[in-house]
């Protein structure tokens, strides 16, 4: 389990990532701050504690794979990859600019550390299933992790992938569901009722855990438990806050895909203990 020192380290990294997210999206004047901030603690815990990867050798064959199915949340992933050393931090401010490697959604052809080009919601989980199945066929011991959104879970392809993972007994697949309860048009339960989520995933043949997606110990415990599960994939329903870390963005659906103004960005950075 995570030690106090490890948690302190993860907290510091998450703070750095949140600062990057605000700067990136403000500079680009385009992007999705809400879902990037809600996913930050999950990504930080994965990349800085549990994911088996090498920044200097991004195509290392034995690496674990991570697929960001909710591709619009990629500012968080870019920030984490930069903090890991995959590319210079200065490049983060090229987000969404012409000829930048940091597109508005992940492009696996352009940037080291990106495993799959995603953004068409619902497709990433299928890609992750393919990677996990390939690992089984090739008798590799790498694991595959994916992050899906709750709004994205309204897509039929998510449930096709859920059946596929169960059918092939993909116990090397662990999926986080970023349950922040908001999507671009409002509350998920008003757009398309998802509950009871845990019951649905259990019925689909998955091992299901529900955690606080901002609690590093709970995130770590869930990941470690997923390693012990045999002959079924694991779904970790992470209860999060959209816009986590910036008071006026938290649970505010308007910041799903809206960049902050200069005044808002300065206020956000002040809350995060830094300046714009």
pLDDT at 35: 98
Does the structure show a pLDDT above 90 at 44?
A: yes
CATH of the domain at 23: 3.40.50.970
pLDDT for residue 97: 97
Has residue 72 been placed in a domain? yes
Helical axes 33-45 vs 74-84, angle rounded to 10° = 40
Q: Is residue 276 part of a domain?
A: no
Task: Determine, yes or no, domain membership for 14.
Answer: yes
User: Cβ neighbours of residue 29 under 8 Å, at least 6 residues apart?
Assistant: 259
Res. 1: pLDDT tops 90? no
The pLDDT tens digits for 102-154 are: 999 999 999 999 999 999 999 999 999 999 999 999 999 999 999 999 999 99
Q: What average pLDDT does the chain have?
A: 98
| pLDDT for 140 | 97
Write out pLDDT tens, residues 244-253: 999 999 999 9
How high is the pLDDT of residue 267? 98
- Residue 42 in any domain: the answer is yes
User: Rounded mean pLDDT of 215-237?
Assistant: 98
Quick one: pLDDT band at residue 200, thresholds 50, 70, 90? very high
Q: How confident is the model at residue 3 (pLDDT cuts 50, 70, 90)?
A: very high
Q: Is the pLDDT of residue 204 over 90?
A: yes
Q: Does any domain span residue 126?
A: yes
What percentage of the chain carries pLDDT values higher than 70? 100
Please give the pLDDT value at position 196: 97
- Condensed to tens digits (0 to 9), the pLDDT of residues 146-188 reads 999 999 999 999 999 999 999 999 999 999 999 999 999 999 9
Question: How many structural domains compose the chain?
Answer: 1
Please give the model's pTM, rounded to 2 decimal places. 0.97
Q: How far is CA 116 from the centre of its chain?
A: 13
Structural domain range at position 34: 4-271
* Nearest one of 178, 165, 216 to 70, comparing CA atoms: 178
């Amino acid at each position: 389990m995570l030690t106090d020192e490890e948690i302190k380290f993860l907290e510091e990294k998450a703070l750095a990532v949140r600062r990057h997210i605000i700067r990136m999206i403000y500079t680009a004047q385009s992007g999705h701050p809400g879902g990037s901030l809600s996913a930050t603690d999950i990504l930080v815990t994965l990349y800085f504690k549990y994911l088996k990867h090498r920044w200097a050798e991004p195509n290392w064959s034995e690496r674990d794979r991570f697929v960001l199915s909710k591709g619009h949340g990629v500012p968080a992933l870019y920030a984490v990859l930069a903090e890991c050393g995959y590319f210079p931090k200065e490049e983060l401010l090229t987000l969404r600019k012409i000829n930048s490697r940091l597109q508005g959604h992940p492009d696996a052809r352009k940037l080291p550390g990106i495993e799959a080009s995603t953004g068409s919601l619902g497709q990433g989980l299928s890609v992750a299933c393919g990677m996990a199945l390939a690992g089984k066929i090739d008798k590799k011991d790498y694991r595959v992790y994916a992050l899906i959104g709750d709004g994205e879970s309204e897509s039929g392809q998510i449930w096709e992938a859920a059946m596929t993972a169960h059918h092939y007994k993909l116990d090397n697949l662990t999926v986080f569901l970023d349950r922040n309860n908001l999507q671009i048009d409002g509350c998920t339960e008003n757009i398309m009722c998802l509950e009871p989520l845990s019951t649905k995933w259990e019925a689909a043949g998955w091992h299901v855990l529900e955690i606080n997606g901002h609690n590093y110990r709970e995130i770590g415990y869930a990941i470690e438990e997923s390693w012990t599960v045999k002959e079924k994939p694991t779904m970790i329903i992470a209860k999060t806050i959209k816009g986590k870390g910036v008071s006026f963005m938290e649970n505010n659906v308007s910041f799903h895909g809206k960049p902050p103004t200069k005044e808002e960005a300065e206020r956000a950075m002040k809350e995060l203990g830094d300046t714009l």
